[in-house]
Structure 1
């Protein structure tokens, strides 16, 4: 029963990733069918992101009213209907409405599943689950390309993904009692510092999430992580073609290797977490990514740029899942429910805003700034991560000797 339940969670992460990369794969054909500009994809992308951010911010409140299994079922159903709507959409207005629904369907389930796994499972499952999200995000364009290269078109690609989502809805509905049964039997994962965790669970009930010391630092780290990751994906090919003088096809292949490095990094991290703590993996990942960014920017032989790109992806691999898994340890189980949504919202905000800002600055100067900007993002993340580690270290010492400890002031109030 436990194995079947875990398989359901893994399948949920695959279906969560399936729609994320469809728009980019289908848009070169879609915009012609709707007689609109190529740049209008940005409007749809921002609309999806807006819905996702709003849904993520509301996830803490939703989780108080619905169980994780119910949220997963309803979100998957909403996503399936939105994707089916793309198949029937007669105009761009409909696409905007459906894009909003797609974002609303993604945000809450992403936060809810991440919170559930962080609370009930060890760190290796978090890394592997995000690796499986990558499987879904990779399969989406492959399925879409298969339809677009044949007699059928992008609409058939969307309806196929929609039917996969509906099949997942049926599975989730059938196994809904299993979610309830497993939740009642599962216990919270106790992280490295058991005494700290017990104290956090007790005192976090009376604290407001945004007042907790370290929350703002953590949200900034999520913002810049997603900004760095998506900036490389969006502008990496342009940098390689413009600055390194590669052919466009070769540059696109190199960017796929960057994504492959990230997926491999998360797969390997799942095994390493048995022996190494999350904060050590985050630190190591940031250092590896920084070395990669330096190789990417320096005027070295082209193979060094390739190695640098792979190292950036490999280093980024453990950061996101490890930070998510550490949320209950950092802020307590009660507050982590709401803060998980805040963190997802910060990540989606970075993913939405920072790459376009970088593109605008590059248009005024040169795309040569890409690796410098990515390196600066990584340094900000490294400083923020180390600051959070120091806060935790002081908290461990103080909480163990204090019965009335305030997370807001990080001081003993007795």
Structure 2
């Protein structure tokens, strides 16, 4: 594994960075496009929740099968076909005549995203150093930052056509370079990342694995919420101009990306647990600003604080998993956590849509604050239990 990790070539790193960015691009576009989509197609506010649930189902189903698919197809071919499906889903959004077409495109979107997400992370874990992996995750935020910019000031259909074109160009790039990815991804290293089936039941019997999964579910729902609902909150509930609101959401993703880049530098100077506690402790402050900021700059500053605080959380929680559950159970626990993360990223923003349909969009602020506090408390409980019950080595 170490020898594989040292063979960092610029071509594979560049391809992986662009792939992570392409994964974030449509993610950032949806929240900004949604008000225009629902007005044109006559859909209720909470219908976004249905789309997110369908995406989550597709993501979960495909991520479970990504390991065997990567071993059978190779990293290059897996990313090529998944990215092609991803581009098709964006085109489906651009051409959708009604809500049923959006649901179908959402299923393809979630399925393709799950395969790309799991495949990229498996490839990166076998190939790159932790610092490179952190910076690759920053590229996701960069793509998500561009999503609102693409949708700002124009037709939502045109915005999704641009997204489809960008993903199509990425697909062409993968077709031209997939041989280099397949050569770089050592089959034995990828196979070593797949958890041995006999140990799964034992891992699932450990409470710390489930509390960790609950933490991931709650946290990723929190992280996804500003990207999904901040634009609707600022424009429909607080009267902010659409262009300004789009750039406010872009600012959230920009600070998120910047935070991940900075955390890559800080990783060798600050203990991961210290950095993680500081990030989680700062998030409620940003949430309060979003909650109380009305339509002024306070909301934008709050979003940027949230992005900066959220930036290191997911990579550090992944990195600390072996310490919590033991190296022998880490692969299974991480698989459980990533699945829970996909569930939270779809279910929690979806639930906000259902509540907002009755109570209004101002529920977003209290949700952000309450969930940020809950994540901080749950993380403290998870770490306390890990200290009380030392993890087994296998």
Q: TM-score, normalised by structure 2?
A: 0.77
Decide whether aligned partners of structure 1 residues 167 and 203 sit closer, same or farther in structure 2, where only a CA change above 3 A counts. Answer: closer
Separation in 1, partners of 2:361, 2:381:
31
Separation in 2, partners of 1:307, 1:88:
35
Offset of residue 391 of structure 1: 5.4
Match of 1:353 among 342, 347, 356: 347
Separation in 1, partners of 2:53, 2:195:
39
The alignment of Structure 1 onto Structure 2 pairs a total of residues equal to 381
Residues 66-107 of structure 1: per-residue CA shift (max 9 Å, x gap): 433332222112112333444555554444322211211111
Decide whether aligned partners of structure 1 residues 217 and 66 sit closer, same or farther in structure 2, where only a CA change above 3 A counts. Answer: farther
Greater Rg by CA: 1
Separation in 2, partners of 1:63, 1:382:
35
Offset of residue 261 of structure 1: 2.7
Separation in 1, partners of 2:279, 2:52:
28
Separation in 2, partners of 1:242, 1:103:
27
Separation in 2, partners of 1:60, 1:288:
36
Separation in 1, partners of 2:303, 2:322:
32
1:248 has 2:248 as partner: no
Q: Is the 8 A contact 2:325 2:391 kept in 1?
A: no
Offset of residue 119 of structure 1: 4.6
Q: Which residue of 1 aligns with 2:136?
A: 129
Residues 272-310 of structure 1: per-residue CA shift (max 9 Å, x gap): 11223433322221011134335656799x776665443
Residues 343-395 of structure 1: per-residue CA shift (max 9 Å, x gap): 33322322222234345556766766654443332333233333444555567
Q: CA RMSD in A?
A: 4.1
Offset of residue 312 of structure 1: 2.4
1:263 has 2:257 as partner: yes
1:380 has 2:374 as partner: yes
Match of 1:182 among 174, 180, 184: 184
Offset of residue 223 of structure 1: 1.2
Q: Which residue of 1 aligns with 2:20?
A: 13
Separation in 2, partners of 1:161, 1:292:
30
Give unpaired runs (5+ residues) of structure 1.
189-197, 400-404, 406-414
Q: Which residue of 2 aligns with 1:206?
A: 199
Offset of residue 269 of structure 1: 0.9
Separation in 1, partners of 2:255, 2:384:
30
Match of 2:105 among 98, 114, 135: 98
1:112 has 2:119 as partner: yes
Match of 1:273 among 267, 270, 273: 267
Decide whether aligned partners of structure 1 residues 257 and 174 sit closer, same or farther in structure 2, where only a CA change above 3 A counts. Answer: closer
Q: Which residue of 2 aligns with 1:165?
A: 167
Separation in 2, partners of 1:229, 1:175:
33
Separation in 2, partners of 1:344, 1:383:
20
Decide whether aligned partners of structure 1 residues 93 and 366 sit closer, same or farther in structure 2, where only a CA change above 3 A counts. Answer: closer
Decide whether aligned partners of structure 1 residues 359 and 100 sit closer, same or farther in structure 2, where only a CA change above 3 A counts. Answer: closer
Offset of residue 231 of structure 1: 3.2
